[in-house]
Amino acid sequence: MKIVVVVFSVAWAIFSLITTGYEVLQPKWRERLRQSPTDVQANAGGIYNRGAWRLPLTDKNSPETAVLFVDQEKGLLHALPIVYRLNPTYLVPLYNEPLTQDIAVSDPDNTLRKVLTSPDASIIYYVGTEETLDHSADLLQGYQQTLVDAENDLIFVILERKS
Amino acid sequence: MTLEFIKIAVFVLLISGMSYAVGRLLYALAKINVSALHIASSPILGLGTLATQLWIYGLLGVPWNRWLLVLPWVLLAVILRHRLKVSPHNAWVGLGQAKSKFNQLDNLSKTLLATGSVFAIAYFASLILQPFATSDILAIWGFKAKEFFINQQVYVTPRLTETVNLSRFYHIDYPPLLPLMADVFYVMLGHVNESLFKAMQVIFIVSGGASMFIFMRAFLAPLHKNLAAVFTFLLIAVPQFLPMLFQFKYMGYADYPLAILFLLSTLFLVRSIGKPVSSDWCLALVFASMAAVTKNEGLSFLGIVLLILGVMFVVQVRKANPKTNRYSIVRYLVVAGALVLPTIVWAIYKQRHNMTVDFKFSNLAESGMNPIERLRTIFYYIWLYISTNPIFHWELAALVVGTVAALWYRSKIALLILVVVGLQLTTYVLSFMFSPYDLKFHILSSIDRLLTQVLPITILLLSASLLTMSAKTKSSNKGPARPS
């Protein structure tokens, strides 16, 4: 039994060394060392760096509909979520039609388009698939896109409305 | 590497040092004979205490500022200065001893520890540099830290509690310790800096790794000294931690701190065997209590630790002198009550703010499935996740090997750890049984983090058979085995 435990533990350690070592040796994250944390965070929409309080609006059921929304005008304590599992009460003043939870869950394209057409959507943090983003290509022309990170099939992009 | 990066790194290290000092002061206050394991766990104990201090300040209406946070500890240090034995000479001697012990390590251990340290440094850098991006850190943990900091108390704006959908999204029922820990950094800095929210997790990496190594090294000696480094390396390098410490997917979530709190509590629990009324059982309870106010999964862990310590205590009381029993029982209950007080306070807060519990027995009936069918479905989805994710094959195999080894040797240590791991995993299955959510969504979106929470104690379980053999050998050679 002792041999089994020792051999298994050593094998697991070797597997971990290779897997984690491979990730740690990737140049992608080390490039970030050249930037200041403020710049990195600003690119990701740091609240202090841009003077905006962020408000996350994500649908955790589906990564494709995870849209993070920032309202530059409203402070954290005043702003209300707009696109999360959505309580239509909060949507009415911001959209002309209520956005229901079903739409958010089942229709990521439509959810993103709703956010992109919102007059309050000055900065959007988009975490989702590239395909969903492509479906709103016409609307995205009014936005500057910054790729922050990409992992597996998900991308994290900042969409900033062009002034 | 920029100047700002260095400033943040130095600031985190300074607050880590302050947390360590607070932890040491607590040990001195409690007149605990400090061992290497106590020293290694001091930063987490200290940070948790400072966070609790802010919680208490909020309840009392005391403003949150750096002077009021630090002042009590400075006064305590002055009062306890004779007990602390702090001097440059002692520090120099301590460093010399540590260096001497490191030099005694074999080359394999040195290599593994050096590689583990490189990984830890990479995690630290990434924790500072990764953007604050994913939903839970924005909406739950980081959001709460900001709300608490603005309100100067554990308080979330009522609008979030008024709507069921919103309160579910923000999970306002999630416990407050991790945001409060971040608030310690914000208070010392004077404003919010979200890089700190993530970067503070380095305290758990270093403290957890050092505690594991010290414990294993003491317990495995003299038979398997180099294996202590193997298990410690595993604790640092297993790829399950990458999404929490290195990549942005789960960075800043509470799962990694929770996993380390489970580990520390279990280490002290193992040390409590045969001496349930000691500082070790207090510390097992302290870290379990911290886990209970870090994440809801910690509540079941606290229950398990209380149950085990209670059984140990009853066994001891029945053996002891009847005259001492009454005093011991009262003292045990008073101390245990005091240590779980934060959990009780949080439960009262949740009740007063109408934070409902989503997990109810009625959910099982409402699901339309009978218990067997639901159980089968739960295990199907768990298996679906594990079987399609190779890094979890290893954890599953470790659970199997560790369980077989524990049952094979039937030592108290191995069986104790097996009970902790087994009961904790059972509570996860029960939570799925009574979950109000769609099972597929609930399991597939949480099982990786749940399994990672028990990963450190699974590694401990795996090593338990070796602990047993070494302890027996030590016992036959030198009397009862006891880690430092």
Residues forming a β-bridge with A147: A157
pLDDT higher than threshold 60 for residue B22:
yes
CA distance B313 to A125: 53
pLDDT band at B478 (very low <50, low <70, confident <90, very high): very low
Distances (CA, A) of B19 to B207, B291, B467: 11, 17, 31
- Full DSSP string of B176-219: SHHHHHHHHHHHHHTS--HHHHHHTTHHHHHHHHHHHHHHHHHH
pLDDT band at B480 (very low <50, low <70, confident <90, very high): very low
B455 within 8 A of B395, measured Cβ to Cβ = yes
Residue A149 sits at φ, ψ, to 5 deg, of -160, 160
CA distance A15 to A8: 10
pLDDT score, position B148: 86
pLDDT score, position A63: 30
pLDDT score, position B482: 44
CA distance B40 to B286: 15
pLDDT higher than threshold 90 for residue B291:
yes
Q: In chain B, what percentage of residues exceed pLDDT 90?
A: 51
Residue A124: what residue type? I
Question: Which range (B279-288, B367-376, B385-394, B455-464) has the least confidence?
Answer: B367-376
Residue A23 sits at φ, ψ, to 5 deg, of -65, -45
B367 within 8 A of B359, measured Cβ to Cβ = no
pLDDT band at A59 (very low <50, low <70, confident <90, very high): very low
Question: Which range (A138-147, B225-234, B315-324, B382-391) has the least confidence?
Answer: B315-324
* Higher pLDDT, residue A162 or B53: B53
Which parts of B308-467 are beta strand (E)? none
pLDDT score, position B163: 52
In the block, residue with structure tokens 């209950």: B333
pLDDT band at B49 (very low <50, low <70, confident <90, very high): very high
pLDDT band at B124 (very low <50, low <70, confident <90, very high): very high
Residues 419 through 458 of chain B touching chain A, CB cutoff 8 Å: 441, 445
Closest CA to B455 of B391, B387, B372: B391
CA distance B50 to B61: 16
Residue B168: what residue type? R
Average pLDDT, integer, range A24-53? 61
Residue B115: what residue type? T
ipTM of the complex: 0.88
**Does residue B222 have a cis bond before it (omega within 30 degrees)?**
yes
pTM of the model: 0.81
pLDDT score, position B470: 57
Average pLDDT, integer, range A74-80? 25
pLDDT score, position A127: 61
Residues forming a β-bridge with A154: A151
pLDDT in tens, B328-366: 778 778 888 898 999 999 999 888 877 777 777 777 777
pLDDT score, position B469: 59
Question: Which range (A118-122, B38-42, B317-321) has the least confidence?
Answer: A118-122
pLDDT score, position A86: 28
B452 within 8 A of B398, measured Cβ to Cβ = no
Distances (CA, A) of B404 to A4, B67, B354: 10, 53, 45
CA distance B366 to B356: 18
**What distance in Å separates residue A17's CA from the closest CA in chain B?**
6
* Higher pLDDT, residue A7 or B173: A7
Q: In chain A, what percentage of residues exceed pLDDT 70?
A: 41
B453 within 8 A of B259, measured Cβ to Cβ = yes
Could you count the other beta carbons within 10 Å of the beta carbon of residue B275?
14
pLDDT score, position A101: 35
Strand ranges across the sheet with A123-128: A54-55, A67-70, A123-128, A154-161, A143-151
Question: A81, B169: Cβ pair inside 8 Å?
Answer: yes
Average pLDDT, chain B: 86
User: In the numeric block, which tokens belong to residue A20?
Assistant: 């984690």
Residues 82 through 141 of chain A touching chain B, CB cutoff 8 Å: 84-87, 101, 125, 127
CA distance B456 to B81: 36
Question: Which range (A74-78, B32-36, B138-142, B198-202) has the least confidence?
Answer: A74-78
pLDDT in tens, B127-173: 998 876 666 776 678 878 877 887 889 987 665 555 555 555 567 78
pLDDT in tens, A96-130: 233 333 334 345 666 677 767 766 566 666 666 78
A98 within 8 A of A104, measured Cβ to Cβ = no
* Higher pLDDT, residue B212 or B464: B212
B49 within 8 A of B22, measured Cβ to Cβ = yes
Average pLDDT, integer, range A76-102? 29
pLDDT in tens, B167-194: 555 677 889 999 999 999 999 998 777 7
Chain B residues with CB under 8 Å of A148 CB are 131, 133
* Higher pLDDT, residue B90 or B444: B444
pLDDT band at B2 (very low <50, low <70, confident <90, very high): confident
pLDDT score, position A17: 95
- Full DSSP string of B209-261: HHHHHHHHHHHHTTT-HHHHHHHHHHHHH-GGGHHHHTSSSSTT-SHHHHHHH
Question: B194, A46: Cβ pair inside 8 Å?
Answer: yes
A46 within 8 A of B194, measured Cβ to Cβ = yes
What is the sign of the dihedral through the CA atoms of B105, B106, B109 and B113? positive
CA distance A144 to A152: 23
pLDDT score, position B269: 93
Chain B residues with CB under 8 Å of A13 CB are 112, 230, 233-234, 237
A150 in B contact zone (CB under 8 Å): no
Helix axes B66-79, B3-29, angle to 10 degrees: 40
Chain B residues with CB under 8 Å of A155 CB are none
**What distance in Å separates residue B341's CA from the closest CA in chain A?**
31
pLDDT score, position B3: 86
Question: Which range (A120-129, B108-117, B217-226) has the least confidence?
Answer: A120-129
Chain A residues with CB under 8 Å of B472 CB are none
Question: A6, B129: Cβ pair inside 8 Å?
Answer: no
pLDDT score, position B168: 59
Average pLDDT, integer, range B220-229? 75
pLDDT in tens, A130-152: 877 888 888 888 888 877 666 66
Question: A48, B150: Cβ pair inside 8 Å?
Answer: no
B151 in A contact zone (CB under 8 Å): no
pLDDT score, position B363: 76
Closest CA to B471 of B463, B481, B479, B462: B481
In the block, residue with structure tokens 């007990």: B83
